A = this chain, B = another copy of it.
C-alpha cells in the first residue's frame, strides 16, 4: 500500500501546491519536478529505510569505549539520503539547493519517517543549518551550514540540561571568552564552554566526519554570575572536531565528550546522549573548555532558536503522523487477510461455513476508520501548516503576515495532536492484530513505542497547551485566533451548501463557537493560574475542532473532484469525515466543561492528598 495517492490528493487537489510554481522562487519547478522528488524519496525510503526498521530497534546504539556503534544499515540509509540532495532541498540554487517549497520538502521527508522514523532523515541537521543561514556570519554559513547541507557533517541542538529539561531559563552551561583576541576569530567570537547537555539526539556517532553542535549557554557577567532567566542565553556553534576557516578538520578534537547514551523505549535508531562540554577530557591547546563560536548577539540565543521552532514542531507532528499511517497500513493489510470469526446475527450462525476476514467485522472497521481519520487527517494538517510556511516565506507581505500568525496558533496543534492521536492509532493497530500485534514478529508494537516519544520531545504536551492558551490565542489581541476562525467559517459556509456535508458544517460552527467561548471563560478572571490550570483539556478540544475543520475542508475538495462519488477514495474521505464528526468531535463536550468553569480540582489539591 502506497502513501502516494493520499499525498498526491492532499498536495495537488486539496492544497493546490502546483500554483506555487507561479512564484518567482519556484519558477523552475513543475508538477513533474515535484513528483520526481517524491518518487526519489519513496524509492530510497523503501530500499534503504523500511527493510531495516526492526534492525535498528534490536541493535540499539552502543559505546564500545571509543566509538558509538550503529548498524551499517544506518550508515547506508543516511548516505543515500544525503546523496539525494534532500538535506538542502529548500535552499537556494546558489548554494546547491533545489529551491523546493517547504511543503514538498516536508512531503518527501514523510516517506522516511514512515519507513523508519528513528533512522531519520535530516531534520536536525537541516534545522541546524537553516538556523545558521538565518543568524550566522558568512563564515559560519560557509564552514558549518554548507557542510551540513552537503551531508559531510551533521548537526544537533543542545538545549536541555539535566537540571533544566523544559525550563531553559535555568540553563547553567557557561561560556567565557577564550583569551585575547577572542572577538576576532574568523569563525565568530570564540568562547570556552563548560556544562552538561541532556537529551541530545545524534549527539555522538560516526555517521559523518564531524558533528556541529548548536549550544545554548550563558556568558557570565562581570561578577562571574550567570544572568537568570532566558534573556541571559546565548547561542554557540561547537564542532565535535575543530575546523579551520576553510572547513577542514584541524586534526584536533574539541572538548566535547559523550557522558552517556540514553536507553530508550523506542526510537532506537538515533543515539540520544548526555554530553559533557569542557570537562577537560579533550583539552584544546592544553586547556579544558569546549571551543564555541558565538552565533548572533549575546543574550539572543533563544530568539535564534525560536526561529526554527515552528518547523521543528511541524516535523515532530509529521513524524507522529507517519508512524500512525505506518500502523494504519499494516493493520489494514492484516485485517484484509486474517480470517477469524463469523458475522453477527443470523448470517454468522453456520459454524461450518468458513471464517470471514476480520475487516468484515464492524468493530475492526471502526478501529481502521479511526486510524484513517486520525492519521490522514493529521497528514492534511501538517501539509496545511507546511503550506503556510511557504506562504510566510514567499507570499505577499499581507499573506505572509497572515500565514505567520496562523502558524503561531496552529503549531501547538500540529505538534500535539498527532503525538496524542496517532499514538492512539498505533494502539488500535496493535488491537486489530490481536495477540500478534503484541509480538515483535509484527511491526505495530514498535510504531507504538516509537511514537510515545512525540508527546515529550520538542516541548511536552503541557508546554504546547500553555503556549496555545497562554500565548498564541492571546497574541496580537487574538488576531491569530480570529484569522483561524475566519478560515474555519469560510469552510463552514461552503460546507453548508453541500447536502452531504451541511450537518457537519453546522456541527463545526457550533464547536468553534464553544471553543471561542471557552477561551474567553478561561481568561474571564485574567488570572493565568486559573486560565492555564486546564490548558491540556483546552488544547484537546481545540485540536479536535481544528481537525474537524480540516476534514470538512478535505471532504469539500474530494466532492469537488468527484461529485458523483464514483471513486472508492472519495467514499473513504467522506467516511473518515463522517467518522470524525460522529465519533470524535462530540468529545469536546468531555473536555471543555473544566475549561469553562476554570475547574480548580487539580490545581488546588494539596500534595499530601495524593
Chain A: residues with CB nearer than 8 A to chain B?
160, 163-167, 169-170, 198-199, 228-230, 262-266, 332, 336, 339-345, 350-352, 355, 359, 361-366, 368-369, 372, 427, 430-431, 434-435, 437-441, 445, 448-449, 452-453, 455-457, 460-462, 465-466, 470, 527-529, 532-537, 568-569, 571-572, 575, 578-579, 582-584, 586-591, 593-594, 597, 599, 601-603, 605-610
Contact = CB atoms under 8 A, between A and B. Distances in A.
B535 A363 contact: yes
Contacts of A262: 435, 439, 441
B366 A575 contact: no
Contacts of A343: 529
Given A448-B452, A452-B427, A460-B431, A332 B166 contact: no
Contacts of A594: 582-583
A345 B527 contact: yes
A581 to B, nearest CB: 9
A469 to B, nearest CB: 11
Contact of A344 (B332, B434, B529, B571): B529
A229 to B, nearest CB: 3
Given A594-B582, A603-B365, A431 B448 contact: no
15 contacts: A165-B434, A165-B435, A169-B351, A264-B440, A265-B438, A265-B448, A359-B610, A365-B605, A366-B602, A438-B453, A568-B609, A575-B601, A586-B589, A586-B591, A587-B587
Of A165, A339, A461, A588, chain B has the most CB atoms within 10 Å of the CB of A165
B572 A601 contact: no
Pick from A364, A438, A535 the residue with the most CB of B within 10 Å.
A438
Nearest to A457: B435
Contacts of A571: 605-606, 608-609
Contacts of A461: 431
Contact of A430 (B229, B441, B452, B528): B452
A431 B455 contact: yes
Given A265-B445, A345-B528, A602-B366, A568 B169 contact: no
Q: How many copies does the complex hold?
A: 2
B163 A339 contact: yes
A353 to B, nearest CB: 8
Contacts of A466: 344, 363
B355 A167 contact: yes
Contacts of A609: 568-569, 571-572, 575
Nearest to A441: B263
A536 B364 CA distance: 11
Contacts of A263: 439-441
Contacts of A610: 332, 359, 368-369, 372, 572
Nearest to A353: B228
Given A439-B262, A568-B608, A529 B593 contact: no
A593 B586 contact: yes
A186 B599 CA distance: 68
Nearest to A577: B601
Contacts of A579: 601-602
Nearest to A430: B452
B342 A167 contact: yes
A525 B158 CA distance: 62
Contact of A340 (B167, B361, B607, B608): B167
Q: Which 3 A-B pairs have the closest CB atoms?
A: A229-B351, A587-B590, A228-B351
A453 B461 CA distance: 25
Given A166-B434, A264-B439, A449-B449, A582 B599 contact: yes
Contacts of A167: 340-342, 355
A362 B528 contact: no
Given A440-B264, A583-B601, A532 B362 contact: yes
A507 to B, nearest CB: 11
